[in-house]
Amino acid sequence: MTRHSGTKRTVLIVGSMAFDDLELPTAKVRNVVGGSATYSALSAALFAPVRVVAVVGDDFPTADLERLRARGVDTKGITRAAGKTFRWAGRYTKNLASRTTLDTQLNVFADFRPELPESYRDSPFVLLGNIHPELQLEVLAQVQRPEFVAADTMNFWISGERSALGEVLKRVDTLVINDEELRELAAEHNIRRAARAVRALGPKRLVVKRGEAGAMLFDEHGIFFAPAYPLEDEIDPTGAGDTFAGALLGYLASEPAIDAGTLRRALLLASTVASFCVEDIGTARLIGLDRQTIAERLESLRNLVHAS
C-alpha cells in the first residue's frame, strides 16, 4: 500500500479490551465495555479503516464485537480466549479530576501475546496502546515497514521496564503521553525540558496530553498547543486519552501527507473527539458520533483560540 494508491490507509491498534466498573459522581455503573483498544478503535474508525489486535474472554458479548465491525473496525485480530475478560474498577473524585483504581483483574489479558493475522501485516499506521513494552515490540516485529508508528500512554512501564521501554521509544515516530508520565519518564518537571529529554530517547515527535489543560505537540517545527474543549457536562473521562490517540492516528491516516499543518490539525481534531468521550458513560457518546457534529465542535475549538 502506497500513499497515493487511492487505497485508504489503515490504522492497526493494539491494546486492551475490558469491562469497567465505574463509580462516577453521577452514576455507579458496572460491566461497561472499555479498554484502550476499544476507545482508540472507535475513535480512529471515524476517519480511517481500523484493525484491532486484542484479547477478550468467553464472557465478552458478540454484540459488542459486532458494534465495532458496524463502525468499520476489522476485528479479525481480536482473540477470544477461554476465561474472563480483563476487568478494571475505579472511583472518580466528585470533580472528575482524579481517580482511584479499586480493582484490576487481568484475566485473559495476563497471557496476551499479540498475534497479527496475515492480512494485518501491511498496516501502514500502528498505534501501540498501553500494554507491556515487550508486547509492543512483538507487534512491531510482525508489521512490515509501517509508515507511522505511535505509542500511547505507558504509565505502568516507566518505573519497571526501562530497558524494553527504551527499545520501544527508539522505534516509534510519535509518543503520545500524558504530562505526568512525561515528567516521570524525563525526571524533569519543566515540560519543555522534559519533552526535549524524551525526544532524545527516540521519538521524533511527542504529543503531551494534559486533560483540561489541552494537548501539546513537540516536534522539529517547534511547539503547538491544542486547547481542551470546555465542556459543560462532564460525565465520564474514562478512555478520553485513548480516544484522543485514536482520533490522532485515524486523522493522520486519512490525510495524503503528514506535514506540520496536518499534525496541528490532527491535535485539534483529537482534542475535539476526546471531549465527546467525556460527555457520556463509556463509549456511549463515541458510538453515536457523526462527522458533522465533530466538525461543528472543531470549529468552536478553533474559534476558542482565534484572535485577529
Residue 281, judged by CB atoms within 10 A of its CB (0-12, 13-18, 19+), counts as middle
Closer to a second copy by Cβ: residue 31 or 262: 262
Provide, rounded to whole angstroms, the least separation between the CB of residue 191 and a second copy: 6
308 binds a second copy (CB under 8 A): yes
Q: Which residues ranging from 163 to 202 are in contact with a second copy (CB under 8 A)?
A: 189-193
Burial 173-184 (b: 16+ CB within 10 A, else e): bbbbbbbebbbb
Q: Which of 83, 117, 202, 227 binds a second copy (CB under 8 A)?
A: 227
Q: Segment contacting a second copy (CB under 8 A): 63-71, 164-172, 222-230, 270-278?
A: 222-230
Closer to a second copy by Cβ: residue 126 or 216: 216
Q: Which residues ranging from 89 to 148 are in contact with a second copy (CB under 8 A)?
A: 94-97
Provide, rounded to whole angstroms, the least separation between the CB of residue 226 and a second copy: 8
Longest dimension (CA), the chain: 59
Provide, rounded to whole angstroms, the least separation between the CB of residue 205 and a second copy: 15
Cell of 168: 520501544
Q: Contact letters (x/-) for a second copy, 242-271, by CB under 8 A? A: -------------------x--xx-xx---
Closer to a second copy by Cβ: residue 74 or 181: 181
| Closest CA relative to residue 206, chosen from 265, 152, 131 | 152
The label of the residue with cell 458496524 reads 70
* Cα gap 67→41, rounded to integer Å: 11
If DSSP codes are grouped into helix, strand and coil, which group holds residue 80? strand
- Cβ atoms within 10 A of the Cβ of 3, count? 13
* Cα gap 157→181, rounded to integer Å: 10
Closer to a second copy by Cβ: residue 106 or 281: 281
Contact at 8 Å (CB) between 40 and 152? yes
Provide, rounded to whole angstroms, the least separation between the CB of residue 264 and a second copy: 4
Provide, rounded to whole angstroms, the least separation between the CB of residue 217 and a second copy: 10
Closer to a second copy by Cβ: residue 14 or 215: 215
* Cα gap 269→274, rounded to integer Å: 8
* Cα gap 129→135, rounded to integer Å: 10
Provide, rounded to whole angstroms, the least separation between the CB of residue 203 and a second copy: 18
Q: Which of 230, 288, 293, 299 binds a second copy (CB under 8 A)?
A: 230
Which residue(s) pair with 12 in the sheet?
51, 126
Provide, rounded to whole angstroms, the least separation between the CB of residue 128 and a second copy: 26
Q: Which of 34, 124, 146, 214 binds a second copy (CB under 8 A)?
A: 214
| Closest CA relative to residue 109, chosen from 85, 88, 128 | 85
Binding residues for a second copy, per CB under 8 A? 94-97, 189-193, 210, 212-214, 216, 222-227, 230-232, 234, 261, 264-265, 267-268, 302-308
